[in-house]
Structure 1
């Protein structure tokens, strides 16, 4: 019998304490729920799950990249829906708080600039500004937002796809590196 994964909640810092062998052998339903904690696109979760078994971390990362490359515009929208607005981590959500640690304690004027720039970006593109925020400062994220704002929709969709892939890689690594 394949091990089952516990359903994580977004307020937990460690979504799964199992590692690659258990993740690869998990029953379909539990694996789907776990993968949806990494990326909220059902199409992405299904594609990654279908690529099992993964013999090493690189195979899982390759599955992520392949699944991300194949997402439709609607699937990308599903994937972005799981992310907090930059500069406004979801209260009580350890994942968004950890990933956006660079906005903690920042000067309120920078957060105001982020809010204004986010609003303009969202009005133009119809979705949140998405960036792999891990290790970035608030000023760095604001600069990236301003740099990407002139992009056309198709260019920005590809940038977002790349940022999501990076975020998923980090989240998958964290999942695999959780204490057992």
Structure 2
């Protein structure tokens, strides 16, 4: 029923749904067969859970993964972050938020719901004290790149960052690319995880 509801919301807004899966193993198989741009992954599934399915899909380069989670799944969200998910949404997300997230991830952005991500990153920091140490490359960021990184940590989209900092969207994309390169991060989510608990002001 949940999958059917998601399909209806997406298709009603022009997003093509190329496959569905009832468990993690099937999700990996469907992704391999259909080569989607984005996978919406429930983290709690029978058999192979969403975290392991995410790891397999990302490591094989099959698609970008957006994790769907509940408020009580911080540990699973942290696992999905380590597995390479590029976004996190609550299962209660409305149609507009869901469609916007799919389009943003398909365009190369990350989607970080602050209500989910801050708690998950905090849990990761508590479990891994070394994660709070400044990452190599942070000192190389310019003041503007630090501002962009701070906005990314808040879960802002490129458009929202552009509006906040009064700069153009292409300029934001350039700054984001520079931040990822200097931090050695594979994605926006990875970059945010590297600086959790680390002050960004000089």
> Structure 1-normalised TM-score?
0.30
In the superposition, the TM-score normalised over structure 2's length comes to 0.28
Q: Which has the higher contact order (CA 8 A, sep 6+)?
A: 1
